[in-house]
Structure 1
């Protein structure tokens, strides 16, 4: 049976996406080793920064859901991040009885020191795309992310 060229091209994109994911995972691992963090701690910091950027109040329960972890395991992550000075527990803005999590400026600076050069290169690549191409890439990546939910 002849190969469907559309399917082959789609599969090639999936393989490229997998390669990007593996290389990003390696970079996260290098950052974790360089900072003495667990890879899960780095994932937690990333989700907390994403929440902040989206205007979402990140609670311990929210973080557990994002990481796909039990509340006990998430509490251990939060304790490690607090002890390292990377996360603060603050009172919730909407409910003073509950806590919200905030990434410290020190952690943000540390992330920029390590990932800043990579982010600048990625921004440079993206800036060379016209608006239509950026829209296509954005739609594709959003659909991929939604598929993985």
Structure 2
């Protein structure tokens, strides 16, 4: 089945953006698989590491949140976190506000390795986007934020 760019249709550019997002996701997965192979970890571990990496202070990563985002039981996530912690990728830190809550952070060793692995990608990405104006970057950010929210909403509907 061949895919043609839907020329002349009002939603043709929207379809092209979807196609490009699909390609971006596929390339990201291939890079993730290469990282997993180097680290001797599986795809779920990589997804967990990415989610831990992108967590913010406003929404820190907890075991419960990680279980929800990965679609795993709390027991399975505990085993996953134990393994990642043992291998030096993450560490558990007790929340200073709510001592019952434990926040999952990247360990410095894990950050350093991930940094070395992904630093060349950062260089390529910086070069690829160097000519974008701040206004263009703001539009791309708005589009990606909306797309991520659409993906998240759909993922939540699946469970």
Structure number having the greater helix percentage:
1
Matched, 1:144 2:129: no
Q: Paired residues, what number?
A: 147
Matched residue, 2:85:
82
Q: 1:27 to 1:95 in 2, by over 3 A?
A: same
Out of 103, 107, 112, the residue aligned to residue 106 of structure 2 is: 103
1:36 CA displacement: 0.7
**Alignment partners' CA distance in 2, 1:112 and 1:55:** 23
Out of 19, 26, 39, the residue aligned to residue 22 of structure 1 is: 26
Report Cα offsets for 1:17-52 as digits up to 9, x if no partner.
Answer: 101100100100110011111111111111111114
User: TM-score if structure 2 supplies the norm length?
Assistant: 0.84
Matched residue, 2:118:
115
Unaligned runs of 5+ in 1: none
1:65 CA displacement: 1.8
**Alignment partners' CA distance in 1, 2:112 and 2:104:** 17
Q: 1:90 to 1:17 in 2, by over 3 A?
A: same
Unaligned runs of 5+ in 2: 1-5, 153-159
Matched residue, 1:58:
61
Matched, 1:38 2:26: no
User: TM-score if structure 1 supplies the norm length?
Assistant: 0.89
Q: 1:130 to 1:73 in 2, by over 3 A?
A: same
